[in-house]
Amino acid sequence: MTHTKTPWKLEVGKYSGNNWMVGSIYFGRSRENDKEYWAHITTDGVHASEMGCSDAKTDAELWVTACNSHDALFEAAKAALKELEYINKHGLGDLDTHEVEAQLRAAIAQAEPDKAEGGEG
């Protein structure tokens, strides 16, 4: 099986039903008004009829793997970007690494949207 097509998004509150639900997280019940609080992970604008073949177990495995590897991959990407910036700035090496640098920069920006483009904030 394959996992559900990405990108996924987070819907907080009542599930809208507009997108394919990948999974849900139960936050608990309010002591104040006894209301239940949920967050739903859904596809982003993809209806179930467009999904093809996927299953919940594979989605859950992807979710867990992505969460568990995020910090290490993110730190490795930042370290590699730092080295590539140095290589590109000083014209070292025989390889054109500008494309890889751009890919790393874009991936880091996606994982860290609150940071300014082009460096640590």
**Bond from prior residue into 7 cis (ω within 30 degrees of 0):** yes
36 plus 73 within the same structural domain: no
* pLDDT per position as a tens digit, 16-33: 777 777 777 777 888 888
Give residue 40's region: left, alpha or beta (phi > 0; psi -120 to 50).
Answer: beta
Residue 52 CA from chain centroid, whole number: 21
119 has pLDDT over 50: no
Helix/strand/coil for 26: strand
How many structural domains are present in the chain? Answer: 2
What residue numbers bound the domain in which 50 lies? 1-54
**Bridge-partner residues for 9, per DSSP?**
42
48 has pLDDT over 70: no
3 plus 48 within the same structural domain: yes
Per-residue pLDDT band at 69 (split at 50, 70, 90): confident
Q: Is residue 64 part of a domain?
A: no
Mark out the alpha helices in 5-97 (DSSP H runs): 56-90
Do residues 3 and 59 make contact, with C-beta atoms less than 8 angstroms apart?
yes
Q: Is residue 119 part of a domain?
A: no
